[in-house]
Amino acid sequence: MSPAKIISVLLALAVLLAGADCEVLHEAPAATPPTPVTVRSAPVALFRSEATRETQGWRWDWEWSGAKHCLDLLGVEYEVVSPEGLKNWSGKILILPNIRNMSADTVAQIERSRAKVLATYMTSYRNEVNEPWPSNNFALGKLLGVTFQSWVGGGEAAGSVRLEKSLGGREVTLGRGLAMMVKPSEKATILGRWPGGEPAIVKSERGLFIGEDIFCPENSDSRPVLEVVATLLNQLEPGLAKMPSRLTFSELPVPPTERVQAGGRRVRVGLGTLEGETLLRAPKKLTVNGKTGPNFYRWTKGRDIEIKGEPYLEVMRLRKNGTYRWNAYRGSLRISAEGQTVNTLDFEEYLAGVVPGEVPLTFPSESLKAMAVVARTYGSTHLNRHHDFDVCDTVHCQVYGGLGKESESTNLAVRATSGEVLTFHGGPVNALFHAVCGGTTAASAEAWPGGGGTPYLASVDDGKFCSHSGRYRWKEEYTRDELADHFREALDRTRGSHFYGLSKLTRLKIEEKSQSGRVKILSIESPEGVYRVEGDAIRWLFSGGRISTAGLQSTLFELEEKGDRYIVKGGGWGHGVGMCQQGASGRAQAGQNYHEILEHYYPQTAVTASGPKEQGKRTAEKRDS
């Protein structure tokens, strides 16, 4: 039996739980993406964006192909439309499957048209060159009846959607755990909610917005999800979609496997715990506990294995309704009987999966090189933070996405800086970084009071090199009651027995600012007492004490009280210490190389190669260049 037929049979076991019949999985996706055809004003158009493909990489091709497969199964007749073809299209329904990047002209065309719109996930979140819109919201937000609130990068917060009665009133499990959290407009209708109650599916006069990409194969290969897609399409045009009697699977992706120069050091990365049945596959050879056998292996709880695939190992975490989460990894995996998973691989290969998770792959090459050196330095100084592995794959250590996250541009940056780290007085530095400084970075003692000053983590003026970012300046607005609820939860979570209650917010006041202009001490007055919060902890007051994107974007802000509301006007995103990623991008665009970028953000440091011979060689190369 061929490998493709074997995985089809295994996948069928999961999907049959949802009552689906299955046909075989296709061998491999097409080598080149479909070319948008000349449109004939078909009633339904499926939008394809090369700008989105450039910013999101090869994986977006796979996700977008899922939309075609989904519509084909539902018997929907459609045309593939490019931004240019949209000008001549005058149909009824426009489908935007995670079209993250679009031009202002395209946005205007969609707004002027009379078509209903079905948009998912990050649609219109950035313009065609991956820059944010001035409002830092979806450009099509008004048309879709939503404004951006925050994003969820994985986990149970977006693991399922609870549908309203008008859509059947059931709960549907999703595969990826990714979502854009939004706030609906007053006239919009909520048709589905995330587990925490946040809006997941929103209906406006012009269309529908779904906070996850339900068209991607990880979701739409499931019959229950396919039924949701059909129901939503029929909300826009009755009778448009019909459920098929039989299902076929989408093609699995083929990630690029560009060579990454090995550094000789191994690292163990904790990938969390597998929840249940998991399919593991290798394109060429699979080795399980030292034995080579079939290219597929089904893991269930109770089995302790070490598994390696060549040239890589695919991991498909199955859900009972047929949805799944796909990824691929270099090196080997150790899976305990309880499901704890550890990826062991070369440190440089690990970095190849880190850099694209920490910075946009479309950044200029010199800023990507700077990020590679920073990630290598940070990673090497934050090993052994866990008992059973060296680093985890979350923001606690560094975000690691494995081979499934890699891109050509970031891999090139890792190879070009192979072995290089930032040092201070001969030792590696604590290479902290953040997204946007807002014009001035913060000294480490500003963000975390009580710690000693670190010379290379001083506050530096960044001019306007990060001013192109949408979070360079921002504004948030809260009611007094909203803040009271957030602060009450945060203080109770962080202060324990030293929290005496907060029945209402009497006053919010900035008591002191730091050298860089950030809020150093924020006082919260209530009938029960006054609470003072310092440094970066101020941000997490606004997210109930949880470190998440729902927190305040930075502590570089001013407060304005207006009746029953507080207006927070600020700049930057993150703690502000170390390298400003958007500033590094701006400096690279201005012609600075990665050495100059790093020298600015980490004064008194040097870029040093890992080995003495290599260090001398690279120092000479730099001197002669």
pLDDT in tens, 443-489: 999 999 876 779 999 999 999 999 988 889 999 999 999 999 999 99
Indicate the average pLDDT of the chain: 89
What six digits make up the tokens of 74?
């539902």
pLDDT in tens, 266-295: 999 999 999 889 999 999 999 999 999 899
Query: Does a structural domain hold residue 169?
Result: yes
H or E element in which residue 271 lies? strand 266-273
Q: Give the total number of structural domains in the chain.
A: 2
Distances (CA, A) of 200 to 73, 93, 174, 522: 24, 21, 12, 33
Single out the residue in 182, 201, 236 at which a domain terminates.
236
Query: Does a structural domain hold residue 294?
Result: no
pLDDT in tens, 169-212: 999 999 999 999 999 999 999 999 999 999 999 999 999 999 99
Taking alpha carbons only, the member of 208, 247, 218, 201 closest to residue 67 is 218
Distances (CA, A) of 265 to 344, 345, 351, 500: 10, 8, 12, 50
Cβ-contact 278, 288 below 8 angstroms: no
Residue 29 has pLDDT above 70, yes or no: no
Query: Does a structural domain hold residue 219?
Result: yes
Strand arrangement, sheet containing 606-608: 427-428, 421-424, 606-608
Query: Does a structural domain hold residue 462?
Result: no
pLDDT in tens, 37-88: 444 457 999 999 999 999 888 999 999 999 999 999 999 999 999 999 999 9
| Distance from C-alpha of 137 to C-alpha of 146, rounded to nearest angstrom | 9
Query: Does a structural domain hold residue 527?
Result: yes
pLDDT in tens, 565-606: 999 999 999 999 999 999 999 999 999 999 999 999 999 999
> How much is the pLDDT for 137?
77
Query: Does a structural domain hold residue 258?
Result: no
Distances (CA, A) of 260 to 58, 412, 613: 18, 8, 21
| Distance from C-alpha of 431 to C-alpha of 379, rounded to nearest angstrom | 9
| Distance from C-alpha of 245 to C-alpha of 382, rounded to nearest angstrom | 53
Cβ-contact 391, 397 below 8 angstroms: yes
pTM: 0.85
Q: How is 164-216 classified by DSSP, letter by letter?
A: -GGGTS-EEE-SS-EEEEEEE-TT-EEEEE-TTS-EEEEE-SSEEEESS-TTS
Range of the domain at 124: 32-236
Single out the residue in 236, 255, 285 at which a domain terminates.
236
Residue 13 confidence class, pLDDT cut points 50, 70, 90: very low
Percent of the chain with pLDDT over 90: 77
> How much is the pLDDT for 32?
53
Query: Does a structural domain hold residue 586?
Result: no
pLDDT in tens, 297-349: 999 999 999 999 999 999 999 999 999 999 999 999 999 999 999 999 999 99
Residue 35 confidence class, pLDDT cut points 50, 70, 90: low
pLDDT in tens, 410-430: 999 999 999 999 999 999 999
Which stretches does DSSP call E strand in 369-416?
391-392
Query: Does a structural domain hold residue 255?
Result: no
Q: Which CATH number goes with the domain that contains 224? A: 3.40.50.880
